[in-house]
Amino acid sequence: MESTGIYWKSPYAALEAVGIEALVVNARHVKNVPGRKTDLADAQWLAILVRSGLLRGSFIPPAHFRELRLISRQMQKLTGILAGEKNRMHKVLTDGGIRLGVVVSDLHGKSSRAMIKGLLAGQTPEQVLKLASKRLKATPEELLDALDGELTDNHRFVIAELMAHIEHLEGRIEVFRQKLLTELAPQKILLEALQTIPGIDETGAALLLVEIGDDMKAFGSADKLASWAGVCPANNESAGKRNRGKQRKGNPHVRRILCEAANAASRTQCALAGIFKALNIRRGRKKAIFALAHRLLKIVFLLIDRGEYYRDANVDYQALSVKRNAPRWLRMLKQYGYINA
């Protein structure tokens, strides 16, 4: 059968339940082979192509991971809605003359949210200023100037509704997140290994594992995994000349997770940040992030395949171990008389 939309999933699950190993092929591969037009003839033509060895099956994760994809992808959808609501609230605040987003790094942090709620409750900017954390880099004068706006009753109504919706979405996302991590408890060691990669946190590791699975034999190599995900360089070479090629679609969920991780890794002190800086100068930020996402996926493949942790070339792990454990070692040596107190 062709992997068209979601319509292949139910027949595939039914065949899998009775022990029939179906082959799901990419419709793009079938399109390259001349065939029939009607559904019945098309199904017969697919069977002929498979028996002739002209088609290969797509990657289909085990049933457990396919079910977890429902949770992970719904969580990602809610995260996108949450980002839109946050942007909308920023816009409404700016419309009311509240320029808090200019002086704080996170408009939805603990201090910012407390100050916004204070304004909604009718407090003056001077009273709201007391709710600001001392850790904010902005001076009290800058915060006071940013809070001095003209919020009308309609502004307050819209902002209050947006705030309630944002908090509701955050609660729903946390429920989905906890459910996903609970279901992935048997892969806890693998999740911990993925979190050693710069830019990948617990949630990112869980989302990535659900999409690509825990068995890298299904892909065979890191390059094939990158091609399946759509993060590898395009291949368009003719007469010894490499031309610009169009990126394939691949798996958009894996690509999004990897690009987010690449953005985070580019701000660290690891070896991956050095690769990003070198590419950023020559190719620009977008291409550098995409190339770094490609490198991250190759690392993910190796960690899952070998069951190892990530070790960065720029980090002296022995020095870190000594720094972390030296006080305890000295205390024990003094306790047992190996060194004088």
- Say if CB 177 and CB 183 are below 8 A apart: no
Same domain, 30 and 86: no
Per-residue confidence band for 122, with pLDDT thresholds at 50, 70 and 90: confident
Per-residue confidence band for 7, with pLDDT thresholds at 50, 70 and 90: confident
Boundaries of domain holding 325 = 315-341
> What's the whole-number average pLDDT of the chain?
87
Proportion of the chain above pLDDT 70, given as a percent: 94
pTM greater than the 0.75 cutoff: yes
Same domain, 204 and 300: yes
Site of tokens 């989302």 = 207
pLDDT on residue 95: 92
100: number of Cβ within 10 Å? 22
Helix (H, G, I), strand (E, B) or coil at 36: coil
H helix or E strand, kind and range, residue 193: helix 188-194
User: Residues near 70 by Cβ (< 8 Å), separated by ≥ 6?
Assistant: none
**4 within domain boundaries:** no
**242 within domain boundaries:** no
Same domain, 228 and 270: yes
Same domain, 69 and 179: yes
Closest CA to 180 of 309, 76, 308: 76
- Say if CB 89 and CB 166 are below 8 A apart: yes
- Residue ranges with strand state E in the chain: 237-238, 241-242
Site of tokens 């993060």 = 231
* Residue 257, amino acid: I
Same domain, 325 and 280: no
Same domain, 67 and 181: yes
**240 within domain boundaries:** no
Q: Phi and psi of 285, rounded to 5°?
A: -65, -45
- Say if CB 204 and CB 260 are below 8 A apart: yes
Mean pLDDT, range 88-113, rounded to an integer: 90
pLDDT higher than threshold 80 for residue 30? no
Tokens representing residue 171 in the block: 């609660």
- Say if CB 96 and CB 151 are below 8 A apart: yes
Same domain, 296 and 200: yes
Same domain, 181 and 83: yes
- As a whole number of angstroms, the distance between CA 35 and CA 5 comes to 20
Closest CA to 134 of 118, 110, 154: 110
**25 within domain boundaries:** yes
**58 within domain boundaries:** no
Per-residue confidence band for 29, with pLDDT thresholds at 50, 70 and 90: low
- Tell me the C-alpha to C-alpha distance, in Å, between residue 152 and each of 92, 95, 101, 116: 11, 10, 19, 14
Same domain, 276 and 201: yes
Between residues 303 and 239, the one the model is more confident about: 303
pLDDT digits (tens, 9 = 90+) for 182-197: 999 999 999 999 999 9
Same domain, 140 and 205: no
- DSSP tally for the chain: helices H, then strands E: 16, 2
Same domain, 121 and 89: yes
H helix or E strand, kind and range, residue 142: helix 140-147
pLDDT higher than threshold 80 for residue 94? yes
Tokens representing residue 13 in the block: 């699950």
- As a whole number of angstroms, the distance between CA 235 and CA 29 comes to 16
Same domain, 159 and 122: yes
pLDDT higher than threshold 80 for residue 281? yes
pLDDT on residue 166: 95
Domain count, the chain: 4
